[in-house]
Amino acid sequence: MFEKRKELALLSNGVQAAASTGKAASLLEAPTVHGMFRWGTYDRSQYGGECPASSRELTELRMFYENTDVFIVDEVNAMSAVMLAQMHETMTALFSRNPQKDAEANKFLFGGKKVIFLGDPAQLKPIMGEPNWLLQFNEI
């Protein structure tokens, strides 16, 4: 894990690291995926639909990640398929030039940003929801 942290420090300009678990995030000295996008504890698998971010939150996040080109997500194996879809929807709302049109055409995954996923599906499964490797992205 120390090697990952060392490599991320070298790449810190334009790169945002995060992890789906608190333990992995603390080892990377990075936020969790929830913290990275300021998600609350809203469970859309229970309530349905999206949990919309306010326009103020979107503006703040857009400004914060303005110079970020690459997102690295560790422990993706612990993300449910719903959480992965929520990450795509959030990033599309943040970074797509025309979110309505781009989302409908599914033209730019994750808002057109580069995303590197790390994880081992044999380790940790999601606490809630189906593992993301069981479904194809367009089925979510």
pLDDT tens for the 140 residues of the chain, in order: 445 555 554 455 789 999 988 888 988 889 999 999 988 765 554 445 555 567 888 889 999 998 999 999 998 888 888 888 889 988 988 888 765 665 565 568 898 899 999 987 767 666 666 666 555 545 54
pLDDT number for residue 33: 92
For the chain, give every domain's residue range: 2-139
Cross-strand pairs, 80:
131
pLDDT number for residue 82: 84
Helix axes 55-64, 81-95, angle to 10 degrees: 80
In this prediction the pTM is 0.72
pLDDT number for residue 17: 93
